[in-house]
Amino acid sequence: MHEQQTWCHMLTVVVALLGCLLAGCSNGSSSDSNLPSPAVSAARPPSIPPDGITLAALGYLNGPVRQFSLPRTAALRAKVDQPNNVTAVVSSPSPAELSSYLRRALPEAGFMITADSPAANTMTFTGHGWSGSFTGDDRASAVLLRPL
């Protein structure tokens, strides 16, 4: 019982510290307090292209549901919606069209493309606490998102 209470106490402390870090807690004595916070750009709402649809609008409950989008014309063949794994398997548009959409939409929504190989129809990206990958072939495309 004592060990369980210790774990609960440690978990409470970790959650409080994470919340403080995410909220930007400060004691105000920092000499860099006049510098703009890197979170200033994150405060801007994500920009979803007019031809896009968010994961939330597609019925997803997990992941960056308001920040990540697919083309409005995307035909979902399969989906996974779990806290540790969000996947969209798309039968259309083509991998080239989907990757073109992602190249345009991801940076505007606050994601950073970390690798991009148009010839191989692959891409990786990060943002909003998630890492993502895209791949496609002549049968389908898939986007996989995982928490960092």
Q: Confirm whether 79 is domain-assigned.
A: yes
pLDDT tens figures, 11-37: 333 333 223 323 333 333 333 333 333
| pLDDT for res 38 | 34
Contact assessment for residue 76 and residue 143, using Cβ atoms and an 8 Å cutoff: no
Q: Is 10 inside any structural domain?
A: no
- The answer as to whether 107 is a domain residue is yes
Inside any domain, residue 102: yes
The answer to which of 7-16, 61-70, 106-115, 124-133 has the lowest mean pLDDT is 7-16
CATH number, domain of 71, equals: 3.30.310
Omega before residue 93 within 30° of 0, cis: yes
Inside any domain, residue 93? yes
How sure is the predictor about 46, in pLDDT bands with cuts at 50, 70 and 90?
confident
Max intra-chain CA distance, the chain: 57
66 assigned to some structural domain:
yes
Question: In total, how many domains does the chain have?
Answer: 1
Residue 13 forms part of a structural domain: no
Q: What domain range is 130 assigned to?
A: 45-147
